[in-house]
Amino acid sequence: MTEAEEREGTRPIRVLIGKPGLDGHDRGAKVVARALRDAGMEVIYTGLHQTPEEIVEAALQEDVDVVGLSILSGAHLTLVPAVLDLLHAQNMDDVVMVVGGIIPEEDAEELRKLGVKAVFGPGTETDDIVRFTRASVGRA
Amino acid sequence: MSLGAEILQGDRRALARALTLVESDPHAADDIIAEVYPHTGHGVVVGITGAPGVGKSTLVDRLAGQFLARGRKVGILAVDPSSPFTGGALLGDRVRMEGRGSDVFMRSLATRGHLGGLARATPRAIQLLQAFGKDLILLETVGAGQSEVDVMGFADTTIIVVVPGLGDDVQAFKAGILEIGDIFVVNKSDRPGADQTMRELRQMLHLGPQRAWMPPVLAAQAQQDVGVSEIADAILRHSEVRLTDPEQQQRRMQEAERLVRDALAEQLVRRVVNQSQAKGRWHEVLTEVAERRLDPAGAAKALHLDQE
Amino acid sequence: MAKERRTPSGLEVKPVYRAEDVSADPVRDIGEPGQYPYTRGIHPGMYRDRLWTMRQFAGFGTAKETNERFHYLLRQGQTGLSTAFDMPTLMGYDSDDSRSLGEVGREGVAIDSLRDMERLFQGIPLGEVSTSMTINGPAIILFAMYLAVAEKQGVPWAKVRGTLQADILKEYIAQKEWIFPPEPSMRLIVDMMEFAAKEVPQWNTISISGYHIREAGSTAVQELAFTLADGFAYVEAAMARGMDVDEFAPRLSFFFNSHLSFFEEIAKFRAARRIWARRMRERYGAKNPRSLMMRFHTQTAGCSLTAQQPEVNIIRTAYEALAGVLGGTQSLHTNSMDEVLSLPTEKAVTIALRTQQVLAHEIDVTDTVDPLAGSYFIENLTDRMEAAAEDYFRRIDEIGGVLRGIEIGFFQREIADAAYRYQQEIDHKERLIVGVNAFVEEQEERIPILKIDPTVERSQRDAVQAVRQEREQAAVEAALEGVREAALSGRNLMPPILDAVRAYATEGEIVRTMRAVFGSYREAAVF
C-alpha cells in the first residue's frame, strides 16, 4: 500500500479541547492544542466558558477519541464529574478523558478514581501529553 | 441495527460515527450511503465562503438561529485546512457558535489534503445529515482556493462574504469566485466603505452575464444579528427560483452524472491498484516511472491492460 | 564561537557592554529621577522618601472570611488592600446562577450585592486605607458598591482612595474575562473615568494591565507594547468624549508583571515610563506633570512558578520582586509559593510579604534612587525595549488600532506564538527550569494547601436569595429600569448603577439588564 492509502485508512486521532467553567485562562489549552496538531491530530477547540452539556454535545457530534478539559478555576471537582456523567449517559465511556490545569494532587487522585485517564499539572511537557494521547487510543 | 437504520431513526451518535467513516474510508461507508440514499436530496444546502476574518462562522451561527426559529432542521459542516506537513488540524469554528445544544448538529471537517478526500467526503456528509432529517445544511469553508470552490459545487446556494475595505473584495474577484456566488454579503456593514464595496460588487455583477437569478448584494452585521433575516429570505427565494427553473431537471442529471463519474473513477482506480499490488506489478511500474523508463500515462495504460 | 544569547523577548545579549553601546542621551533620555521623561523614576527621592506599598492580593470564600484575611494582613504590616473576586463575580453571575456551580468563592471572594460588600469591609475605615479591586467586566458595579459602603460609613467620596483594574482591552487580548462586546465595554470605562474625575478625585479608575498579557504567554516586549497601546486607546477614548487630558490622565495607573529575566524586566519598567511620558506630552498634549508620570503596581510572575519543588518559588519570587523595586515600582505583590497549586495558605502569604519586608529593610536597595542608571547594559537594553515597542505601535497603527487588532486576532496570535515558543524551549531544554526539566527530584514533597470550605457555595447561594427576599422589590425594579434607560440613551451609567446597588439589586441582575442592551461577545479561535 502507498503511504497515502495507508493514511487514508487510519484517520487522525481526534481530540476535543474544552474549557468548561468561567475562567478565561486559555494559554495552556492553546499550547496543548497546537502541540497535538503538530503531532498530526485533529483538534477541535470549543472556546471558553462552556457548560458540561455543551462540551459533551460537541464531543458527540465531532466523534472524538479524546476529550481534554482545561480548568484553572478550582471548580474541577464539580465540572469534571458533570462531564463524565453526561458522557456516560450518551454511552460514550470509550472516550478517553484527560484534565489539565491547577489540580491539587488529592483532587487529581479523586478524578482518576472517577475515570479520568490522566491529570496534567503545570510543568507538564507537551511531548508527554502527545505520547499519552497516542497511547491512550492505542496508537503508540 | 445497521448504522444507516440508526441514522434514519435520528440517532445522533450513529450519525457522528458515520460521518467519521465517510471522512476516513469512503468504502466502509458505501453500505451506509446505499441504505440512506433514497432519503437524501431534500432541503437546501447553503455554501458560505470568504476570506479569513470576514465573519463567516458568526454568520453561519446567526443563520442557524434564524432557520431554527423558522422551524427548519439545521446541520452545519465547517471545513478547515489540515497542515500539509503533519496532517494535523486545529478546528476552531465551534468557538463562534452560541450554545444551541443538540438542536443543531455541527461537524468540523479537516481538508486532510490527499486524493481530493474532501471533495469526496463532502457530498456524503451532506447526504448523511439529510438522511438524519436535516433540511437546511450550512457548509462553511475558509478562503477562496480551488478546493473551496470545488466544495461549493455541492451547495444549492452559495454565499460569498466580504467586508468593507482592506481589499478583501478585490481578492475575491481575483480568485474568480464571483461566478459561483448566488448571494453576496457585505458583513460588518457599519464599517466605513461599506456602501462603496456594495456599489462595486453590484457593478461587477451587472457587467457579468445576465442570469435568470441576479445575485443580490446584502449588508449585514452578523455579530449584532443585523441583516441576517434578509439573508435567510434570499436563500429561500433562491431555492424557490431554482426549483421552478426549467433547467432544474437537467441540473439534477448533471449532478448525478458527476457523482457517478466520481464514484466510478474511484472504484476503477482502487480495483486496478489492488489487483496490480496483488500481482506484484504495482511497485515494479512505479519504479519504472520513477527512473524515467516509463511515462505515467503509459504506466496507467499498462496496468489497465494487465487487468484484461 | 560561543552560542548567541538572547533575552526571552528575542533581543540579542552580548558578553560585554561598553560606553559605545549606549545611544541614549544622558540628559534627554535618562535625565533625573522625578523629572521628564521619568526614565529613572517618578519621584526625586524614590524609596528614601516613601517605600513602595506592599499590597498582597487576597480573597476567597465568603466576604466574612476575606474580611478576616484583610485584618490579618493589615496587622502583619501590609499597607494597602487588594481584593480578588471569584469567577462568578468577575463574569457577572450571581452565586445562585447555574453557570456559577462549583466556582463560588474558589478563586476569590464572592460578591453578589451591597450586603456582601458591607461585610467585606467591615471594621475597615475606607477613608484611611487604599483598596485595589481586581475587577474588569463588571467594574462599574463593584465601584458603585464600594462607594455605597463609603456612604454608609459616612466617609466622603473625596477621601476614598483606591484602584479599579477595569482594563477591558487586555481581557479581549489576554485574560478573556469579558462580559459585553468591546465598544460598550469601552463606554463603561469612560463613564467611570468621567464620574470619578468629578466625584472621587483620588480614585484610580483604571489600572492598565500588562500582567495578564504576560501571564497569557507574551514576551516582555509584547507586554510593554500592548499595555501601552491599550493605555493610548483609553486616552483617545476619553478625549473623544470631550474630556481634557489633564483632567483624567493623572488618575491612570499601570500594572506590570515581573518575570525571571532580571535585566530585561528592569529595562522594561524604565522604558515604559519614558515611552508614556513622551507620548502623553508630544501626542496628547498633556501639560500636568502628573499626567506624564507612569505610576505602576507590580506583581511577580505567577506563570514562572512551578508545581514541582514549590518552596523554590520563594526564591524566584524574591528575584522578580527585586527587579520590580530596581525598576521603580509604586506598589508590589509578591506571589505565594503555593499559588500554582491552589489559593495561598496564610503561612505562604506571610512568607511572601516577608520577602518584601526583607527587600525593603535588610538589603539596602532603597538607599539610592535608580541605582542601575548609567549601566551600559541596562541603558542599552532600555533603549532597545523602547525601540521594539515603537515597532509594535507602528504595526498596531497600520492594522487600524487596538480594537481592530483584537477583532482580527492580532494580539492573540502574537501571544499564542510566544507562549508556544516558550513551551518549546522548555520541552527542548533550551531553557532550564529547576525542578521541571533540570534538577528534578524523584520524590516530590507535598506542602499543605488551602482548602476552600465546600459549604461556602451553599451558604452564599442562600445569602443572595435571602437578600432578594428582604429588599424592596419595587425599588429594585425601578432602579434597574434606570440602568436600562441609561444604557440605551448613552447617559453616564454610574448614577443609575449607584441607585441600583443601594436598592440591593444584585450584580447578576444589573449585568443582565445591561447585557440585554449591549449584547455579548465571542472571540474567534486564535492559536
The model's pLDDT over C451-502, given as tens digits with 9 standing for 90+, comes to: 878 889 999 999 999 999 999 999 999 999 999 999 999 999 999 999 999 9
Chain A contact set for B12 (CB, 8 A): 60-61
Measure in Å the smallest separation between the Cα of A39 and chain B Cα atoms. 6
- Is pLDDT at C218 greater than 50 in this prediction? yes
- Is pLDDT at C383 greater than 70 in this prediction? yes
pLDDT in tens, C222-279: 999 999 999 999 999 999 999 999 999 999 999 999 999 999 999 999 999 999 999 9
Low-confidence ranges of chain B (pLDDT < 50): 115
Find the closest chain C residue to A73 by CA distance: C107
Q: Would the CB atoms of A43 and B88 count as touching at under 8 Å?
A: yes
CATH of domain B44-245: 3.40.50.300
Q: Would the CB atoms of C307 and A31 count as touching at under 8 Å?
A: no
Q: How high is the ipTM of this complex? A: 0.89
Tell me the average pLDDT across A17-36: 92
Find the closest chain B residue to C521 by CA distance: B223
CB pairs under 8 A between A and C: 104
> Chain B: which residues have CB within 8 Å of chain C?
53, 57-58, 90, 92-93, 95-96, 98, 223-224
Do the Cβ atoms of B179 and B207 come closer than 8 Å?
A: no
pLDDT in tens, A55-111: 999 999 999 999 999 998 889 999 999 999 999 999 999 999 999 998 888 899 999
Do the Cβ atoms of A55 and A16 come closer than 8 Å?
A: yes
pLDDT, residue A6, reads 42
Q: Is the dihedral of CA A57, A62, A67, A73 positive or negative?
A: negative
* Residue C450 touches partner A, C-beta closer than 8 Å: no
Find the closest chain B residue to A31 by CA distance: B90
DSSP H helices, B70-214, are 117-132, 146-152, 168-174, 194-207
Q: Would the CB atoms of A45 and B91 count as touching at under 8 Å?
A: yes
Q: Which helix (H) or strand (E) holds C63?
A: helix C63-75
CATH of domain A12-133: 3.40.50.280
Do the Cβ atoms of B154 and B139 come closer than 8 Å?
A: yes
Q: What chains are in contact with C, requiring at least 3 Cβ pairs below 8 Å?
A: A, B
* Residues C481-513 as b or e (16 or more Cβ within 10 Å = b): ebbbebbeeeebbbbbbbbbbbbbbbbbbbbeb
- Is pLDDT at A10 greater than 80 in this prediction? no
Measure in Å the smallest separation between the Cα of B198 and chain C Cα atoms. 21
pTM summary value = 0.87
Q: Which of A8, A39, A61 sits opposite B106 (nearest CB)?
A: A61
Spatial CA neighbour of B106 closest among B149, B142, B136 = B136
Stretch 65-104 of chain B: residues touching chain A, C-beta under 8 Å:
82-83, 86-92, 94-96, 99, 101-102
Q: Which of A11, A38, A47 sits opposite B94 (nearest CB)?
A: A47
Residue ranges, comma separated, of all CATH 3.20.20.240 domains in chain C are: 5-427
Tell me the average pLDDT across A38-44: 95
Domain residue ranges of chain B, discontinuous segments joined by +: 44-245, 256-307
Domain residue ranges of chain A, discontinuous segments joined by +: 12-133
pLDDT, residue B146, reads 64
Quick check: helix, strand or coil at residue C332? Answer: strand
pLDDT, residue A7, reads 43
Find the closest chain C residue to B91 by CA distance: C525
Q: Is the dihedral of CA C437, C442, C446, C452 positive or negative?
A: positive
Measure in Å the smallest separation between the Cα of C401 and chain A Cα atoms. 24
Of C73 and C151, the one with more pLDDT: C151
pLDDT, residue A3, reads 40
pLDDT, residue A2, reads 39
Q: Which of B20, B86, B102 sits opposite A11 (nearest CB)?
A: B20
Phi and psi at C297, nearest 5°, equal -100, 145
Cα-based torsion angle of the residue sequence B3, B6, B12, B13 in order, rounded to the nearest 10 degrees: -40
Give the amino acid at A110: E
Cα-based torsion angle of the residue sequence C258, C260, C263, C268 in order, rounded to the nearest 10 degrees: -30
Measure in Å the smallest separation between the Cα of B95 and chain C Cα atoms. 6
Chain A contact set for B83 (CB, 8 A): 37-38
Q: Would the CB atoms of C524 and B223 count as touching at under 8 Å?
A: no
Q: Would the CB atoms of C522 and B53 count as touching at under 8 Å?
A: no
Q: Would the CB atoms of A43 and B105 count as touching at under 8 Å?
A: no
Q: How crowded is residue B111: how many other Cβ atoms within 10 Å of its Cβ?
A: 23
Measure in Å the smallest separation between the Cα of B64 and chain C Cα atoms. 16
Q: Which of C407, C519, C527 sits opposite B90 (nearest CB)?
A: C527
Spatial CA neighbour of B231 closest among B58, B34, B112 = B58
pLDDT, residue C408, reads 84
Contacts of A86 (CB under 8 A, 6+ apart): A52, A53, A56
Tell me the average pLDDT across C401-423: 92
Minimum mean pLDDT among B87-91, C85-89, C162-166: which range? B87-91
Confidence band for A5, pLDDT divided at 50, 70 and 90: very low
Q: Would the CB atoms of A27 and C419 count as touching at under 8 Å?
A: yes
Q: What chains are in contact with B, requiring at least 3 Cβ pairs below 8 Å?
A: A, C
Q: How far apart are the first and last CA of chain A?
A: 21
pLDDT, residue C239, reads 96
pLDDT, residue B254, reads 85
Chain A contact set for C219 (CB, 8 A): none
Chain B contact set for A39 (CB, 8 A): 86, 88
Q: What percent of chain A has pLDDT over 90?
A: 74
Distance CA A38, CA C392 (A): 28
* Residue B280 touches partner A, C-beta closer than 8 Å: no
Q: Would the CB atoms of A37 and B88 count as touching at under 8 Å?
A: yes
* Residue C507 touches partner A, C-beta closer than 8 Å: no
Question: Would you state the cell numbers that stand for residue C162, as one nine-digit string?
Answer: 483606591
* Residue B38 touches partner A, C-beta closer than 8 Å: no
| B interface test, pick of C172, C406, C522, C527 with most B CB neighbours within 10 Å | C522
Stretch 218-257 of chain B: residues touching chain A, C-beta under 8 Å:
none
- Is pLDDT at C2 greater than 60 in this prediction? no
* Residue B105 touches partner A, C-beta closer than 8 Å: yes
Q: Which CATH architecture has domain C5-427?
A: Alpha-Beta Barrel (3.20)
Measure in Å the smallest separation between the Cα of C522 and chain B Cα atoms. 6
Contacts of B267 (CB under 8 A, 6+ apart): none
| A interface test, pick of B32, B108, B285 with most A CB neighbours within 10 Å | B108
What are the angstrom distances between the C-alpha of C349 and each of C82, C255, C343, C355, C435? Answer: 13, 20, 10, 10, 22
Mean per-residue pLDDT over chain C, rounded = 94
| A interface test, pick of B11, B19, B94 with most A CB neighbours within 10 Å | B94
| C interface test, pick of B108, B223, B225 with most C CB neighbours within 10 Å | B223
Measure in Å the smallest separation between the Cα of B89 and chain A Cα atoms. 5
